[in-house]
Structure 1
Amino acid sequence: MSMNPQRPVLIVGGSGFVGSQAAKVLRRLHPTLPLTLGGRDLARAEAVAKEVGGADAVRVDLGRPDLGLPDGKAYSAVVVFVQDDTLHSMKYAQAKGLPYLSISTGVFEVGPEVAHFIHQPASAPILMASHWLVGAVTLPALHFAREFKTLEAIELAAVLDTQDMGGPAAHADLERLTELAPRALLLQDGRWRWVHGADATRTFTGVDGIRREGQAYSPFDVLSLGAATEARSIRFDLVVGESATRRRGEPYSTEIIIELSGVKPDGTRGRSRYELVHPGGQAPVTALGVAVAVERLLGLAGAPPVPPGLYMPHVLLDPADFVQRLETFGMRIRRA
């Protein structure tokens, strides 16, 4: 593999709202790791690169197979913060044997990425990380699931504040994923179902004790947890509205609720509920997920670099370590 951590990580969308935060988290975790921020607006990318430090900028054109990158430029990984409907970024990474990380694909859109991997399975590690906030639900859920001998149901909910929609790319992603997919995927009593209408709504208790009506949504979390656990029912519901902190007159936060039920090691049936709140909103949590994933792909945290293959975060990252990283970066976790 032509991977060299001394070559820069190419962050496509690196000058955007979340991409720039991911670059800053990578810089904090790895002060000497070179970064290249790619965007359509070179001047903006250069300004963000200067702010990040140890970074340069390039203009990226996803309409071109070479991404419009200068000849002779070599990278160590390709990280994509925008929806690349050409998949030129993935094909570029495969051609160069570079780890590739994408975070904007809907469950109903996985076909093209998977087909490109199947066509060239030995070319590069492909990390499909289009989970809610890049693993901030799946990895804690797997960590908390260790309390159960037999896990039966996983109910997940997230509150995204209307003031916390991120930049134009994140806004476009959410619009596409909620409007283009007429139904949401969930696991119900051992069977995968695409639901809509009444089946797609669920009332749950928010972190402030107020009842909220969520709409079924299917980020990759339902796929990861369906594969990684024996739970017979898994669903994820989303509220786009006012977060509990903003309702109290404070700045918005991002909220995640994880509810697990099953049989405990002592044979009794039980249910546990965890509330995760980050006062900085969704962007810093997404940025951390991407940074930790890049660190793992490149072998910068003790483990060797990841070999070619098709991956999701839960097979590469340790849930307990990830929960610890979330807390270090400001996530407040409360067992309710």
Structure 2
Amino acid sequence: MASAPKPVLILGGSGAVGSRAVAALRRLQPELPIVIGARDIARANAVAQSAGNATALEVDLGRADLGVPAGATFSAVVTLLNDETLNSMKYAQTHGLPYVSFSDHLFEISPKVALYLQKPTSAPILFLGHALGGATTLSALHFARELRSIETLDVAVAIYDDDHGGPATNTDLERAGRVSPLLRKNGRWIWASGDDIERTVTAADGTKHRGNAFPLLDVVSLAAATDAPNVRFDIAVRSAASRPAGKRPSTEMIFEIDGVDADGKKRRVRHEVVDDEDLSTLSARGLAITVERLLGLAGGPPVPPGLYNPETILDPADVIQKLEAFGARIARDVQR
């Protein structure tokens, strides 16, 4: 008889993304127990009660043991907030637990890389500071597979200006906005400035919006996976006033790819993934898909100790199928 699975500890699981991540993970894995670690225990209890098979736990990131009761056991530690102490990662390494870092930008991962290198065989460490919990990068790689080689990979996420997410999301966006974005241009890495920061992004309805390059991990993941000499990731913000009355904020992923197909012909393609849910919900779904794979609950055995990005453990085709099951709509070879 198989033993009962140990719970996943989700730090920040009562926030805007966290509560949705709990719901998405529950949908994917109905039997997986979840512990919601938070400072606001009343709010965490409410999320736990709504999810079922979940409990709340008051945590303190200022403590090496996170304030977790002695003897508590978990299957993974998922950190949805900016842990400046790194105590959550140290706790995971000490206990040999898979660790997911959700809120780190390109310019913030060095301390965790160094900490990993001190104990490289202690636990699997996954960076997930990617747009929409890795869903954007995996979708891009799904479409990129159709070409033999990639010259340019322009990726954008379009959101509405009233899609604020929660306080943690807003803080993440503010931190990112203070740093120059990283781009790959003509085979070289540059910290973008001037005209390189902005580009025009055409939304799924044909309207044009200003896109701004953003220092998320998508750009380095995509460049490493495709070897494309030109890669950028942008966020385009649309006015809520342009949305039909009564319609909730939706999210779009837009992929424009220049490359060479299997027949040796140059092609430029555009694909779109559109979902009627908001930024926080799609980010939560991407996280849930990644966590179930990390634990070996889908797509293969548990991931061994190592340092990972989502594209190194997930199959792009599987991710696309899960996004469609959640409600995403895919438009291929679109002309705009």
Structure 1 length as normaliser, TM-score?
0.95
Matched, 1:239 2:240: no
In the other structure, the counterpart of 2:175 is 176
SS of alignment partner, residue 142 of structure 1? helix
Is the CA contact (8 Å cut-off) linking 2:201 and 2:236 kept in structure 1?
A: no
**Which among 177, 182, 187 is matched to residue 185 of structure 1?**
182
Partner of 2:321: 324
Find 1:230's aligned residue among 220, 227, 236: 227
Which residue of 1 is the match for residue 49 of structure 2?
A: 50
CA distance in 2 between partners of 1:241 and 1:58 (Å): 38
Distance (Å, rounded) in 1 between the aligned partners of 2:105 and 2:89: 16
Question: Using the alignment, how far apart are the partners of 2:69 and 2:42 within structure 1?
Answer: 16
Q: What is the aligned counterpart of 1:202 among 199, 204, 219?
A: 199
- Separation (CA, whole Å) in 2 of partners of 1:238 and 1:301: 30
Moved over 6 A (4+): none
Local SS of the residue matching 2:97: coil
| Contact 1:5-1:76 at 8 Å conserved across structures | no
Which residue of 1 is the match for residue 165 of structure 2? Answer: 166
CA distance in 2, matches of 1:144, 1:240: 24
Deviation at 1:39, TM superposition (A): 0.5
Please name the residue that 1:135 is paired with: 134
Alignment-mate amino acid for residue 242 of structure 1 = S
- CA distance, structure 2, for counterparts of residue 299 and residue 223 of structure 1: 25
CA distance in 2: counterparts of 1:275 and 1:188, whole angstroms: 23
CA distance in 2, matches of 1:177, 1:5: 40
Q: CA deviation at 1:5?
A: 6.8
Cα distance in 2, alignment partners of residues 298 and 206 from structure 1: 36
Change (3 A) 1:325 1:263: same
Aligned to 1:273: 270
Deviations 1:114-143 (A, max 9, x none): 001001000000000111011121111111
In 2, Cα distance between equivalents of 1:256 and 1:292: 17
In 2, the alpha carbon distance for the partners of 1:185 and 1:5 equals: 44
5+ unaligned residues in a row in structure 2: which ranges? none
1:1-336 alignment, distance < 5 Å: 6-179=5-178, 181=179, 183-242=180-239, 247-249=243-245, 250-335=247-332, 336=334
The one-letter code matched in structure 1 to 2:298 is A
1:14 aligned counterpart, secondary structure? coil
**Paired residue type of 1:248:** P
2:62–2:85 CA contact under 8 A, matched in 1: yes
Query: Distance between the aligned counterparts of 2:94 and 2:133, measured in 1?
Result: 25
Matched-pair contact (CA < 8 Å) for 1:243–1:254: no
| CA drift at 1:146 | 1.6
1:203–1:302 distance in 2 versus 1, CA, 3 Å:
closer
Q: SS at the partner of 2:104?
A: coil
**Aligned partner letter, 2:129:** S
AA partner of residue 120 (structure 1): K
SS at match of 1:159: strand
Q: What amino acid does structure 2 have at the position aligned with 1:280?
A: E
Q: Quick check: 2:89–2:99 contact (8 Å CA) kept in 1? A: yes
Would you say the 8 A contact 1:124–1:307 is kept in 2?
yes
Q: Deviations over 1:146-191 (max 9, x none)?
A: 2211111100111222221211111111111112x1x110000100
- In structure 2, what is the Cα distance between the partners aligned to 1:59 and 1:269? 56
CA–CA separation in structure 1 for the residues paired with 2:95 and 2:213: 38
TM-score normalized by the length of structure 2: 0.95
Write the letter of the residue equivalent to 2:13: G
Q: Distance in 1 between matches of 2:237 and 2:69?
A: 41
Name the SS for the 2:145 alignment partner. Answer: helix
Aligned equivalents of 2:108 and 2:270: distance in 1? 31
Q: Report the CA distance between 1:242 and its aligned residue.
A: 2.4
Aligned partners of 1:5 and 1:298 also within 8 Å: no
User: What's the secondary structure of 1:46's corresponding residue?
Assistant: helix
Identity level (%): 52
Change (3 A) 1:302 1:134: closer
- The answer to whether the 8 Å contact 2:13/2:19 transfers is yes
Quick check: 1:9–1:75 contact (8 Å CA) kept in 2? Answer: yes
SS state at 1:26 partner: helix
**How far 1:10 moved relative to its partner?**
0.2
